[in-house]
Structure 1
Amino acid sequence: MAIGSGLGAQVGIAAESSYGTFVAPAKFIEFTKESLQLKKTTAQSAGIAAGRLIPRSSRRVVTQRQGSGSLEMEVTNKAMGVLLQSLMGTTVTPAQQAATAAYLQEHLLVDTAGKSLTIQKGVPLTTGVVTDKTFLGCKVLSAEFSCEVGGMLVVSFEIDAKDCDETQTLAVATYPEMAPFHFGQMAVKTGTYGTETALDGIRKVSLKIERPQATERFYAGQSGLKKEPISNDQVKITGSLEGDYVSTLLDDLHTSDAATSFVWDFTGPLIAATHYQRITFKVPAIRLDDAPPTVEGFDVIKPTMAFTGLDDGTNPVAIEYMSTDITL
Structure 2
Amino acid sequence: MAIGSGLGGQLGIVAEVSYGTFVAPTRFLEFTKESLVLKKTVEQSAGVAAGRLLALSDRRVLTQKEVTGSIDLEVTNTGMGLLLQALMGTSVTPVQQAATTAYLQTHTLADSFGKNLTIQKGVPLTTGTVTDKSFVGCKVTGAEFSCEVGGMLMSSWEIDGKTCDETQTLATASYPSRRPFHFGQLAVKAGTFASETALDGVRKVSVKIERPMSTDRFYAGQAGLKKEPIANDLVKITGSVEMDYVSTTLDDLHTSDAATSLVIECVGPNIASTYDETFRITLPAIKIDEAPPVIDGFEVIKPTYSFTALYDGTNQPVISYISTDTAV
> Shorter-normalised TM-score: what interval?
over 0.9
Q: Distance in 2 between matches of 1:8 and 1:297?
A: 49
Offset at residue 51 of structure 1 (A): 1.2
Q: Secondary structure at the match of 1:85?
A: helix
Q: Distance in 2 between matches of 1:189 and 1:304?
A: 16
Residue aligning to 1:66? 66
Instruction: Report the residue type matching 2:152 in the other structure.
Output: M
Instruction: Report the residue type matching 1:122 in the other structure.
Output: G
Residue aligning to 2:129? 129
Q: Distance in 1 between matches of 2:188 and 2:68?
A: 33
Given the two structures, how large is their TM-score scaled by the length of structure 2? 1.00
Q: Distance in 1 between matches of 2:58 and 2:178?
A: 51
Q: Distance in 2 between matches of 1:137 and 1:94?
A: 24
Offset at residue 15 of structure 1 (A): 0.5
Q: Distance in 2 between matches of 1:266 and 1:147?
A: 10
Q: Distance in 2 between matches of 1:97 and 1:14?
A: 25
Q: Secondary structure at the match of 1:82?
A: helix
Residue aligning to 2:206? 206
How many correspondences in the alignment?
328
**Structure 1 residues without counterparts, runs of 5 or longer:** none
Q: Distance in 1 between matches of 2:258 and 2:33?
A: 38
Residue aligning to 1:43? 43
Q: Distance in 1 between matches of 2:184 and 2:16?
A: 36
Residues 132-173 of structure 1: per-residue CA shift (max 9 Å, x gap): 001000010100000000000000000000000111100000
Structure 1 residue runs of 4+, over 3 Å off?
none
Q: Secondary structure at the match of 2:138?
A: strand
Q: Distance in 1 between matches of 2:210 and 2:131?
A: 31
Instruction: Report the residue type matching 2:279 in the other structure.
Output: I
Q: Distance in 2 between matches of 1:325 and 1:186?
A: 22
Offset at residue 47 of structure 1 (A): 1.4
1:1-328 equivalences in 2 (<5 Å)? 1-328=1-328
Offset at residue 322 of structure 1 (A): 0.2
Offset at residue 302 of structure 1 (A): 0.2
Given the two structures, how large is their TM-score scaled by the length of structure 1? 1.00
Q: Percent identity?
A: 69
Q: Distance in 2 between matches of 1:208 and 1:79?
A: 20
Q: Secondary structure at the match of 1:83?
A: helix
Q: Distance in 2 between matches of 1:249 and 1:154?
A: 26
Offset at residue 201 of structure 1 (A): 0.2
**Cα-Cα RMSD:** 0.4
**Structure 2 residues without counterparts, runs of 5 or longer:** none
Instruction: Report the residue type matching 2:63 in the other structure.
Output: T
Residues 106-143 of structure 1: per-residue CA shift (max 9 Å, x gap): 00000001011000000000000000001000010100
Instruction: Report the residue type matching 1:104 in the other structure.
Output: L
Q: Which moved more, 1:46-55 or 1:105-114?
A: 46-55
Q: Distance in 2 between matches of 1:297 and 1:240?
A: 23
Offset at residue 49 of structure 1 (A): 1.6
